[in-house]
């Protein structure tokens, strides 16, 4: 369990340890303290790690999330890649998000691997059977990034077998766009993402997809307060993978994954998510394990503004 | 660094706009705003029957959901706060349960009321049942 949560501290030197292990654990502790003392707030998040739905952050709400991706490596050392998200509801129709990525390859080392800035926009103001959302993200990451927040083109597990000293020399400036289509019906959420990503260093466009479905384990709420009851759990499954590039639009050599997801939304505003994933092709990692801890601060925008009055 | 300057400048500008924007979200709190938003509900929503109408269990469940999802803006007693409507006001209480459950699903995104379509309809009905119980 300690390996999964990135606590193999004996293999790291001090500075890298600070980034890869201590900061995430300090933030996890901070989130737990916040959850204990802050007033309850809870949104309607889906349990997915990769797939986006049309549910945006509530206006003025800041969501802090600490997540991690553990993967087994066929030829090389397993790794864990923690990342931190700050998601803010700027408007009812616009959510903006900052990611800070890091990773640790066992028996190699730990790195801060870069940042991402993501924006999601709802062009339609009313709910429909299928709700589109437009997504634009700028990424400034190194070749050692292993968060696998999207799988595009012919991304493969071999890309992650390169040692940190070599992989970190590559810098990527990328634009990622998505068309998100999402529906809610009879308690189910069904979401489909079509991904197009472009390395600004004259690389071809890379394509990918993510599809997911989820449902609360109980639709109606019970009358009494509870933490460990079915209404607080959302279960589902997501599938994602690459679809080649503009130069080579083929499924050959692409990676695909299927991953059940489970979220526990506690009334305190904390959500825990867990998702084991399995690779479906020879170029995929055999096994992934993602986990996430989320805390919401409702009315954050109003509080910040009140400081400047 | 030069390469980073444009995204960083854009990010800073949008962060300022975002915080300012959320704090300046137009008031959806007055009766007129709510009435006009609810008036957009399709006519058939007026005939939707609340499956939980008057049920004490549903009122209690609705209150629990209200405190979890709505009270931050609308206050624990549902009388509203600076930027959010008083849910005991005639504009809300005179709307039919069907119109309210439709409004909860769609929200009023331009005016800062989020769409609660991610909540199962059963829970939206429970919230409406609780809101209607405040009339007494």
**Total count of domains within chain B:** 1
Residue-level pLDDT at B10: 74
Residue B67 lies in a domain: yes
Closest approach of chain A CAs to the CA of B44, in angstroms?
A: 16
- pLDDT tens digit sequence for A165-223: 999 999 999 999 999 999 999 999 999 999 999 999 888 999 999 999 999 999 999 99
Name the B residues in 77-96 with CB < 8 Å from any A CB.
Answer: 83
Q: What is the DSSP letter of B44?
A: G
By Cβ distance, the residue of B72, B73, B118 closest to A184 is: B118
Inter-chain residue contact B108 with A59, CB threshold 8 Å: no
Closest approach of chain A CAs to the CA of B48, in angstroms?
A: 16
Q: Count Cβ atoms within 10 A of the Cβ of residue A239 and give its class: 0-12 exposed, 13-18 middle, 19 or more buried.
A: middle
Helix (H, G, I), strand (E, B) or coil at A242: strand
Residues, chain B, total? 136
- CB proximity B13 to A under 8 Å: no
CATH number for the domain harbouring residue A153: 2.40.160.40
Residue B1 lies in a domain: no
Count of A-B CB contacts under 8 Å: 132
Cα torsion B2, B7, B11, B13: sign = positive
- Is the full-model pTM beyond 0.90? no
Percent of chain B with pLDDT over 70: 80
The whole-angstrom separation of Cα B21 and Cα B9 is 18
Residue-level pLDDT at A238: 98
Residue-level pLDDT at A21: 52
Q: How many helices (H) and strands (E) does chain A have?
A: 4, 12
Residue A3 lies in a domain: no
pLDDT greater at residue B47 or residue A9 = B47
Cβ distance A206 to A249 under 8 Å?
Answer: no
Inter-chain residue contact A125 with B109, CB threshold 8 Å: yes
Q: How many helices (H) and strands (E) does chain B have?
A: 7, 0
Cα torsion A30, A35, A39, A45: sign = positive
By Cβ distance, the residue of B15, B20, B110 closest to A92 is: B110
| pLDDT over 90 (residue B38) | no
Residue A40 CA: distances (Å) to CA of A66, A225, A232:
19, 12, 14
CA-angle at A157, arms to A154 and A162, nearest 5°:
110
Residue B68 lies in a domain: yes
Token pair of B92 as six digits = 């809300």
Residue A119 lies in a domain: yes
- CB proximity B4 to A under 8 Å: yes
Residue A212 lies in a domain: yes
CATH number for the domain harbouring residue B32: 1.10.760.10
**Residues sharing a CB contact under 8 Å with residue A224, sequence separation 6 or more, in sequence order:** B60, B64
Residue B75 lies in a domain: yes
**Total count of domains within chain A:** 1
Chain A partners within 8 Å of B105 (Cβ): 127
Inter-chain residue contact B113 with A45, CB threshold 8 Å: no
Q: Count Cβ atoms within 10 A of the Cβ of residue B32 and give its class: 0-12 exposed, 13-18 middle, 19 or more buried.
A: exposed
Q: What is the DSSP letter of B113?
A: B
By Cβ distance, the residue of A60, A189, A302 closest to B118 is: A189
Cβ distance A97 to A105 under 8 Å?
Answer: no
Chain B partners within 8 Å of A220 (Cβ): 61, 120, 122-123, 126
Residue B121 CA: distances (Å) to CA of A136, B43, B127, B129:
31, 19, 10, 12
The whole-angstrom separation of Cα A81 and Cα A148 is 9
Residue A148 CA: distances (Å) to CA of A3, A93, A226:
19, 27, 34
Inter-chain residue contact B126 with A221, CB threshold 8 Å: yes
- pLDDT tens digit sequence for B1-23: 555 676 677 777 776 666 555 54
By Cβ distance, the residue of B73, B107, B123 closest to A221 is: B123
Name the B residues in 93-112 with CB < 8 Å from any A CB.
Answer: 105-112
Inter-chain residue contact A44 with B57, CB threshold 8 Å: no
By Cβ distance, the residue of B18, B58, B114 closest to A92 is: B114
Which residues of chain A, if any, have pLDDT below 70? 1-43, 309
For B83, the closest chain A residue by CA position comes to A302
3-state secondary structure A3-30: CCCCCCHHHCCHHHHHHHHHHHHHHHHH
Inter-chain residue contact A267 with B68, CB threshold 8 Å: yes
Q: What are phi and psi of B114, to 5 degrees?
A: -70, 155
Residue B76's domain comprises: 27-133
The whole-angstrom separation of Cα A147 and Cα A286 is 16
Residue A137 lies in a domain: yes
Residue B105 lies in a domain: yes
Name the B residues in 16-75 with CB < 8 Å from any A CB.
Answer: 17-23, 25, 56-58, 60-62, 64-65, 67-69, 72-73
Cβ distance B130 to B100 under 8 Å?
Answer: no
| pLDDT over 90 (residue B39) | no
Q: Is B81 left (phi over 0), alpha (psi -120 to 50) or beta?
A: beta
Q: Count Cβ atoms within 10 A of the Cβ of residue A5 and give its class: 0-12 exposed, 13-18 middle, 19 or more buried.
A: middle
Residue-level pLDDT at A22: 57
Residue A53's domain comprises: 9-307
Q: What is the DSSP letter of A199?
A: E
The whole-angstrom separation of Cα A88 and Cα A96 is 5
pLDDT (mean) for B81-89? 85
The DSSP string of A64-118 is EEEEEEEE--SSS--EEEEEEEEEEEEETTEEEEEEEEEEEETTTEEEEEEEEEE
By Cβ distance, the residue of A117, A127, A301 closest to B19 is: A301
């Amino acid at each position: 369990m300690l390996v999964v949560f990135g606590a193999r501290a004996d293999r790291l030197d001090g500075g890298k340890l600070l980034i890869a292990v201590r900061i995430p654990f300090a933030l996890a502790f901070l989130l737990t303290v916040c959850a204990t003392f802050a007033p309850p707030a809870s949104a309607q998040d889906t349990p997915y790690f990769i797939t986006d739905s049309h549910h945006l952050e509530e206006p003025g709400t800041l969501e802090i999330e600490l997540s991690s991706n553990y993967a087994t490596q066929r030829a090389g050392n397993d790794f864990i890649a923690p990342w931190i998200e700050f998601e803010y509801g700027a408007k009812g129709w616009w959510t903006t998000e900052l990611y800070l990525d890091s990773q640790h390859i066992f028996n190699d080392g730990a790195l801060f691997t870069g940042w991402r800035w993501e924006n999601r926009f709802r062009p339609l103001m009313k709910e429909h059977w299928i709700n589109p959302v437009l997504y634009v993200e700028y990424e400034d990451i190194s070749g050692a990034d292993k968060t696998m927040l999207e799988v595009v083109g012919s991304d493969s597990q071999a890309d992650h077998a390169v040692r940190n000293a070599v992989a970190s020399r590559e810098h990527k400036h990328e634009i990622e766009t998505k068309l998100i289509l999402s529906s809610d019906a009879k308690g189910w959420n069904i979401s489909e993402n079509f991904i197009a990503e472009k390395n600004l260093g004259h690389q071809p466009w890379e394509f990918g997809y993510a599809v997911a479905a989820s449902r609360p384990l109980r639709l109606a709420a019970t009358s009494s307060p509870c933490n460990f009851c079915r209404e607080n759990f959302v279960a589902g499954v997501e599938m994602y993978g690459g679809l080649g590039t503009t130069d080579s639009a083929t499924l050959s050599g692409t990676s695909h994954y299927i991953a059940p997801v489970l979220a526990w939304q506690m009334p305190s505003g904390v959500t825990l998510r867990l998702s084991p994933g399995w690779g479906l092709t020879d170029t995929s990692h055999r096994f992934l394990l993602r986990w996430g801890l989320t805390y919401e601060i409702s009315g954050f925008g109003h509080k910040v503004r009140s400081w400047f009055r | 660094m030069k390469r980073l300057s444009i995204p960083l400048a854009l990010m800073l500008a949008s962060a300022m706009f975002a915080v300012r924007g959320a704090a300046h979200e137009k008031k959806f709190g007055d009766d007129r705003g709510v009435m006009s938003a609810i008036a957009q509900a399709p006519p058939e929503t007026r005939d939707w029957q609340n499956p939980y109408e008057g049920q004490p269990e549903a009122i209690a469940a609705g209150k629990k959901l209200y405190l979890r999802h709505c009270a931050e803006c609308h206050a624990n007693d549902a009388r509203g706060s600076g930027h959010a409507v008083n849910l005991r006001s005639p504009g809300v209480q005179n709307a039919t349960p069907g119109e309210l459950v439709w409004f909860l699903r769609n929200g009023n995104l331009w005016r800062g009321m989020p769409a609660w379509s991610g909540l199962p309809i059963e829970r939206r009905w429970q919230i409406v049942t609780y809101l209607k119980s405040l009339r007494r």
